[in-house]
């Protein structure tokens, strides 16, 4: 028996929206089948929790489209021992998916009321390896660095400069980089003192607002 209700909808979501578009990492697919996305979304929008779209979570913010969560998680190549930083906690769903795949997640949220929602949602599922911090994620979070993975889930004009110094050797960063309306998913890897970038298609995120992001 699956642990949480609406498992049939989650299985369908993974098959039709995520596997069908080419996400193959079996651990990522399993986490997306397990984590009850509907419990992260305030009513009435929770009804559409397994639809192929982002949804409002309050305070003008959104929960990302399931496929984008899966794609970004796969691009991060999460390993069980990893220490990961997320910037833009929102309702905490992406953090919950990551927490199922890595050792420790730190997730930063700018809006205190949204951070409270993430904390509440993670605690309700007994997820203890994800820490929610209120602050400006464009400065990273040096207290828990270095990070094997950094994922930015808000649109940024460029990769915030302080983050490079908080990445572990062999680390990866995934971020939507570009304009306020549309961005491209960028993966930055730090390997043997060299930094490489690759590009993975267009996306639309709410803006990353802060010292090294958008002004407002
Ligand atoms: N990761 C979320 C989606 C995040 S939406 C999920 O799992 O569904 C983007 C979030 O980034 C919003 O909640 C917004 O308030 C937050 N945000 C924007 N700028 C930020 C900053 N500088 N630091 C931390 N959070 C920020």
The whole-number pLDDT of residue 1 equals 65
Q: Which residue's alpha carbon is nearest to atom 12 within ligand 1?
A: 90
Domains, in order of start, for the chain: 7-203 (3.40.50.150)
Residue of 49, 90, 183, 205 to mutate, ligand 1, most atoms within 8 A of C-beta = 90
209 lines ligand 1 (CB under 6 A): yes
Which listed residue (64, 73, 107, 156) is catalytic? 64
Q: Give the chain's residues under pLDDT 70.
A: 1
Regarding beta strands 183-191 and 194-203, do their DSSP bridges make them parallel or antiparallel, or are they unpaired?
antiparallel
106 lines ligand 1 (CB under 6 A): no
DSSP the chain: --SSS-HHHHHHHIIIIIITTT---HHHHHHHHHS-GGGGS-TTGGGGTTSSS-EEEETTEEEPPHHHHHHHHHHT---TT-EEEEE--TTSHHHHHHHTTSSEEEEEESSHHHHHHHHHHHHHTT--SEEEEES-GGG--GGG--EEEEEE-SBBSS--GGGGGGEEEEEEEEEEEE-SS-EEEEEEEEETTEEEEEEEEEE---B-BSTTSB--
Is 198 catalytic? The answer is no
CA of 88 to the centre of ligand 1 (A): 3
63 lines ligand 1 (CB under 6 A): yes
The whole-number pLDDT of residue 216 equals 84
Question: Is the pTM for the entire model greater than 0.85?
Answer: yes
């Amino acid at each position: 028996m699956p642990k949480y209700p609406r498992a049939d909808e989650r299985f369908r979501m993974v098959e039709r929206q995520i596997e069908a578009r080419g996400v193959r990492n079996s651990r990522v697919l399993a986490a997306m089948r397990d984590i009850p996305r509907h419990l992260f979304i305030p009513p009435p929008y929770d009804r559409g929790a397994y639809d192929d779209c982002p949804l409002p979570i309050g305070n003008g913010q959104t929960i990302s489209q399931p496929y984008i969560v899966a794609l970004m998680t796969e691009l991060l190549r999460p390993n069980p021992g990893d220490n990961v930083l997320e910037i833009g906690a929102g309702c905490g769903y992406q953090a919950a998916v990551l927490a199922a795949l890595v050792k420790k997640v730190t997730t930063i949220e700018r809006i205190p009321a949204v951070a409270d929602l993430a904390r509440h949602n993670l605690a309700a599922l007994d997820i203890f390896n994800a820490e929610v911090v209120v602050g400006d994620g464009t400065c990273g979070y040096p207290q828990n660095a270095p990070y094997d993975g950094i994922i930015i889930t808000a649109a940024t004009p460029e990769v915030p400069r302080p983050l490079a110094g908080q990445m572990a050797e062999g680390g990866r960063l995934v971020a939507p980089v570009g304009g306020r309306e549309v961005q491209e998913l960028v993966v930055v890897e730090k390997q043997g003192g060299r930094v490489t970038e690759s590009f993975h298609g267009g996306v639309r995120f709410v803006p990353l607002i802060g010292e090294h992001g958008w002004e407002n």
